[in-house]
């Protein structure tokens, strides 16, 4: 399944070990993200380390694993879809994710209820829905 991954999923995976982290490295999903995703993620590194009590080395190992799993799409491939995404986005922070979903003809993986509820052009799956849809627990 081809999915654009929202930053909130990465934060959830790092803050709480469990199915989100396992699903991130599953071969059942093809994951894509805008190029700023890892910049955003590293911007909050100190906060993440504080909340998770992980070492910087553990954080970097997780980050490197994510970089192997997630296909980064350059901004130039997303820009042509920004206006279309802006027209339906419930939040300015979600525009780039919607634009990327349009560009790739993909769904979005996000736990953002507003993104799921307040637009109806792109399907948004929560982690729980993906686990169910992919029969992840039945591996």
Residue 139 pLDDT exceeds 60? no
Percent of the chain with pLDDT over 90: 54
Q: Where are the domains of the chain?
A: 2-138
Say if CB 1 and CB 134 are below 8 A apart: yes
Say if CB 98 and CB 108 are below 8 A apart: yes
Residue 15 pLDDT exceeds 80? no
> pTM, whole model, 2 decimals?
0.89
Mean pLDDT across the chain: 89
Say if CB 82 and CB 45 are below 8 A apart: no
User: Exposed, middle or buried: residue 63 (CB in 10 Å: 0-12, 13-18, 19+)?
Assistant: middle
Residue 60 three-state SS: helix
**What pLDDT digit, counting tens, does each position of 112-129 carry?**
999 999 999 999 999 999
**What pLDDT digit, counting tens, does each position of 88-106 carry?**
999 999 999 999 999 999 9
Res 135: pLDDT: 76
Q: Name residue, tokens 């686990």.
A: 131
Total Cβ atoms within 10 A of residue 12: 17
- Residue 6 DSSP symbol: P
CATH for 2-138, options being 1.10.20.140, 3.30.870.10, 3.40.50.1010, 3.10.310.10: 3.40.50.1010
Res 97: pLDDT: 97
Res 137: pLDDT: 54
Res 136: pLDDT: 64
d(CA 33, CA 24): 13
Residue 33 three-state SS: strand
Res 19: pLDDT: 83
């Amino acid at each position: 399944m081809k999915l654009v991954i929202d930053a909130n999923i990465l934060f959830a995976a790092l803050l709480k070990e469990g199915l989100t982290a396992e699903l991130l490295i599953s071969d059942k999903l093809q994951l894509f993200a805008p190029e700023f995703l890892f910049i955003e993620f590293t911007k909050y590194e100190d906060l993440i380390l504080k909340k998770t009590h992980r070492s910087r080395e553990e954080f970097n190992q997780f980050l490197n694993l994510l970089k192997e799993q997630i296909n980064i799409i350059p901004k130039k491939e997303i820009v042509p879809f920004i206006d279309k995404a802006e027209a339906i986005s419930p939040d300015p922070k979600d525009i780039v994710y919607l634009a990327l979903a349009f560009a790739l003809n993909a769904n979005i993986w996000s736990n953002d209820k507003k993104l799921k509820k307040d637009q109806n052009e792109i399907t948004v799956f929560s982690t729980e829905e993906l686990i169910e849809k992919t029969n992840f627990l039945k591996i």
